Structure 1
């Protein structure tokens, strides 16, 4: 068997292969055991923006082609859609979503083996990108699944000027999570976003309101566990001019700096270094993640708009420190979530918006 599409991913999301095993599963002898087909549950479309947008697609030779991309439908599938598929462990229990879109070659040359789907991402309200998966060709789901037919068919191998193609991709999301955006990101263009309207009053997906204090954990210099009381203070939009005296590379100069200020109170028993924002990351609407930007500034004034730590000394039990870090994100792809990834304690996620917080 062959993989339907190349192995690639948008927004750092891997494309996982699903191994088809037959509708009845396998017996101890390795032969498929016949089974009556389950009832088919049609996928449920979600309201979303479908405005066509100009984009580029860059091939493996770093040649960019102009496209126009238009979402058609995002639909929530059912667990039973993939009963005939052996899932990787990290996909089990997740819900399939089917995203259908069209793309048109708006350039003057023919595009060979176009695969804009690898740049597509379906993202939750917490900025977490769903896992994109690909089926082997010839899978047995063609007649006993609520999966849209276009998700079972290969894309075009060439696209002449003015021609269009329609494709469908499968994305797996945790139960309880809700898609908030669909995004497209290629090296040759800014991030494109389409909003998805989830159910009114739906679950927050474990995302705390901006600025709400929460408990977290980390380790001291000897890896001993230390508990924290964490309060996000603000997420502010910076300017590239703020970083002009630093030697940023060409890609970094295209990004927008965001200043994340957090307050930590040491509720544990051991001293901590003040560099606690090393464990903070920012997630964007398009599913991108940005860790703290490391700047070499030995003995320098730093970035006045974002001081590293106040006070800049060991954080003793009961003491509080306020820390700011710089996170770089693509233009047109604003932050939506702020995450503290501690040690010995579950990660904590808050909603984030430039200028929000306390």
Structure 2
């Protein structure tokens, strides 16, 4: 449920603050000296733009029907935001400008309507772009490379049948191509629009079954290593989980069975629970960690057998682990990541394709 208003300042998702230079924010940001870089025109990208039916749930806790349609996606340049003081982790990222139209298809007027908050521009590896909102009244806005529609707000109140449009800014790492636009429907599903010409790979993302060294810790929190080889990602069924008491929201999701083979390449015994470090990311950017099912002494899920918990993984030994990860309908896996832990740990990611490697 979304109940926030449009930000009357400069803020990104996850409370990432941008300060409009010269606007005198709380930290007293000052204009950066020197001439501004030349403006690079935003480059429109080919993309699917069919109108789709979705819902928006506001502070009234009611789902209001909408017709949603992305009308333009354009690749910008980091220099577009030269007049904005960005957090360090956002500097050098590439802005993408997404324009969407939304129509109130219900019978009554809808207020506090901000569907852009549910949209995302996602990389080909499923990484969701950082969503940014700028001061719409910033006098410096006309001096940067932002498209005109990204300098105005959409309507927050729509009468029945009325249409409005809004532009939202998303930041992706340089070299990571956008793969799709998504809308996380408040009704539980995900709407997707594919971007034409998207690369099938991404910098730092391994092929689906390529072995990779990962760093973890043993039961005494000592740094250990293993060789991880994703075997397959299989689409499951809620019928497979019928013995378990699932929450209402879980019953709207699709289970995926992730199987990985690990070889202990370190000096210490490891618990056969390495899949606890896995994150499955959907094409919309939604992340799903291991699902925990209470089944003490039970048969588990035959379609995704767990490793034996009392058997330690000795140095040089291998173990095959399967875990269940839940994603929304219409939001298939895009990448699989081993987060890692211990000294020198870093995330390792593979491209993920459901039913790949059966």
- TM-score above 0.5, yes or no: yes
Q: Separation in 2 of the partners of 1:118 and 1:51?
A: 19
1:310 Cα deviation after fit: 5.9
- 1:5 aligns with 7
- 1:136 aligns with 135
Q: Separation in 2 of the partners of 1:299 and 1:30?
A: 60
Task: Encode CA deviations 1:95-136: one digit per residue, 9 max, x unaligned.
Answer: 111100101111111111210011001111111111101112
Distance 1:324 1:6, change over 3 A: farther
1:152 Cα deviation after fit: 1.2
1:324 Cα deviation after fit: 0.1
- 1:79 aligns with 78
Distance 1:306 1:189, change over 3 A: closer
- Worse-matched range after superposition: 311-320 or 84-93: 311-320
Q: Separation in 2 of the partners of 1:15 and 1:136?
A: 15
- 1:219 aligns with 217
Task: Encode CA deviations 1:2-32: one digit per residue, 9 max, x unaligned.
Answer: x85389x99xx53634210149x99xx9865
Equivalent pair of 1:228/1:267 in contact (CA under 8 Å): yes
- 2:271 aligns with 273
- Trace 1:94-173 onto structure 2 (pairs within 5 A): 94-173=93-172
- 2:335 aligns with 337
Q: Describe the SS at the equivalent of 2:80.
A: helix
1:157 Cα deviation after fit: 2.7
1:225 Cα deviation after fit: 1.0
Q: Separation in 2 of the partners of 1:264 and 1:31?
A: 52
Q: Separation in 1 of the partners of 2:8 and 2:142?
A: 25
1:41 Cα deviation after fit: 1.0
Q: Describe the SS at the equivalent of 2:285.
A: coil
Give structure 2 stretches of 5+ with no counterpart: none
- 2:260 aligns with 262
- 1:317 aligns with 315
Distance 1:159 1:15, change over 3 A: farther
Q: Separation in 2 of the partners of 1:131 and 1:255?
A: 24
Q: Separation in 1 of the partners of 2:29 and 2:70?
A: 41
Q: Describe the SS at the equivalent of 1:142.
A: helix
Distance 1:83 1:229, change over 3 A: same
Q: Separation in 1 of the partners of 2:21 and 2:305?
A: 56
Q: Describe the SS at the equivalent of 1:112.
A: coil
- 1:296 aligns with 294
1:155 Cα deviation after fit: 1.7
Q: Separation in 2 of the partners of 1:203 and 1:234?
A: 18
How large is the RMSD of aligned CA atoms in angstroms? Answer: 2.4
